[in-house]
Chain A
Amino acid sequence: AQSVTQLDSHVSVSEGTPVLLRCNYSSSYSPSLFWYVQHPNKGLQLLLKYTSAATLVKGINGFEAEFKKSETSFHLTKPSAHMSDAAEYFCVVSDPNFNKFYFGSGTKLNVKP
């Protein structure tokens, strides 16, 4: 079975400081992992995905995530937060056939001016 655990329900950072959103996964197979972002009253949007290629994945808007098998982690980072980054972020793992995508409970990112 596949699942993800987002370790923080809320993260608050100041504008211009680094962002770290933590995700641990559990998978019976070599996982494929994703991060999605949901801005208020908007649909979810793909930030980045890992599918067994390079372990450091670059996404849109300056976000990156590193797949660490030894730690079963896929944390999302950004060097410098922007006000527009305030949103809810979801870590996602797929089943091996990419038919089901399992979402974490989400992390709400607050960016303070």
Chain B
Amino acid sequence: GAGVSQSPSNKVTEKGKDVELRCDPISGHTALYWYRQSLGQGLEFLIYFQGNSAPDKSGLPSDRFSAERTGGSVSTLTIQRTQQEDSAVYLCASSLLAGVAGELFFGEGSRLTVL
């Protein structure tokens, strides 16, 4: 597609359930980033991928969070046993190359609400 696509756009789940958030980056972009935007706060860095590899997972808030990327394209962010504090907008971005000061292209986000 023309831009970064994220799905679902909205997800309401019950505490304790698992959720999967999907990001489809711009074709050919090798770098992919996940951020979390909580109400009234800035963007919190979660993880980045160079190709299919995630060199640094230290931004993930807890071991309930995991992410993978396959085929150098689609990425999935999984949150297990969701908690109310996980409620936020999860943003995905991609850029042409990792390790350069290139532009990040953002999707419109997946809004997660944990009841």
Chains A and B are bound partners = yes
Report A-chain residues with C-beta under 8 Å of the C-beta of B59: 100
Closest CB of chain B to A6's CB: distance in Å?
8
Closest CB of chain B to A110's CB: distance in Å?
16
Query: Restricting to B51-104, which residues have a CB under 8 Å from any CB of A?
Result: 55-56, 59, 91, 93, 98-104
Interface residues of A, count at CB 8 A: 23
Cβ-neighbour of A43 out of B42, B48, B106 (below 8 A)? B106
Distance, CA A6 to CA B40, complexed state (A): 13
Residue of A nearest to B95 (CB): A98
Report A-chain residues with C-beta under 8 Å of the C-beta of B103: 46, 49
Q: Which of B3, B44, B55, B100 gathers most chain A CB within 10 Å?
A: B100
Judge whether B101 and A103 touch: CB under 8 Å.
no
Judge whether B45 and A105 touch: CB under 8 Å.
no
Q: Residues 92-113 of chain A: 1 if any B CB is under 8 Å from the residue's CB, otherwise 0?
A: 0010011111111110000000
Distance, CA A94 to CA B35, complexed state (A): 14
- B25 contacts the other chain (CB 8 A): no
- A90 contacts the other chain (CB 8 A): yes
Distance, CA A97 to CA B56, complexed state (A): 13
Known: A43-B4, A101-B33. 9 other contacts (CB 8 A): A42-B108, A46-B104, A98-B101, A99-B55, A103-B35, A103-B43, A105-B42, A106-B41, A106-B42
Residues on B facing A (Cβ under 8 Å): 3-4, 33, 35, 40-45, 48, 50, 55-56, 59, 91, 93, 98-109
Closest 9 CB pairs of A and B: A43-B106, A103-B43, A105-B42, A44-B106, A103-B42, A46-B103, A51-B101, A43-B108, A32-B101
Residues on A facing B (Cβ under 8 Å): 6, 32, 36, 41-46, 49, 51, 90, 94, 97-106
